[in-house]
């Protein structure tokens, strides 16, 4: 299972980020766990300056704006199970 962290302050962009990640993961059939971090102290301690911030495998993919579906797909496609 892939851990996806979304650092969020509760705005529409933060919610949309989580929805897009879930949608793409479902499309690719990738098993993920979405952790939404909303605690301001935790966001600051993680070194996040802008939200939403999408992090997969502890690598920041996008911060300060909603990531594109293409960006999410590119990174999650590495975890597509081989049948």
- Residues acting as catalytic residues: 11, 14
What is the gyration radius of the CA atoms in the chain, in angstroms? 12
Composition of the chain by helix, strand, coil, percent to 5: 40, 25, 35
**Is 10:64 a contact under the CB 8 Å cutoff?**
no
């Amino acid at each position: 299972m892939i851990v996806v962290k979304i650092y969020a302050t509760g705005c529409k962009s933060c919610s949309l980020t989580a929805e897009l990640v879930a949608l793409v993961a479902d499309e690719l059939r990738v098993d993920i766990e979405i952790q939404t971090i909303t605690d301001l102290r935790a966001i600051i301690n993680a070194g996040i300056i802008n939200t939403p911030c999408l992090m997969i495998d502890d690598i920041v993919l996008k911060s300060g704006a909603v990531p594109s579906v293409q960006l999410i797909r590119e990174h999650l496609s590495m975890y597509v199970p081989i049948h």
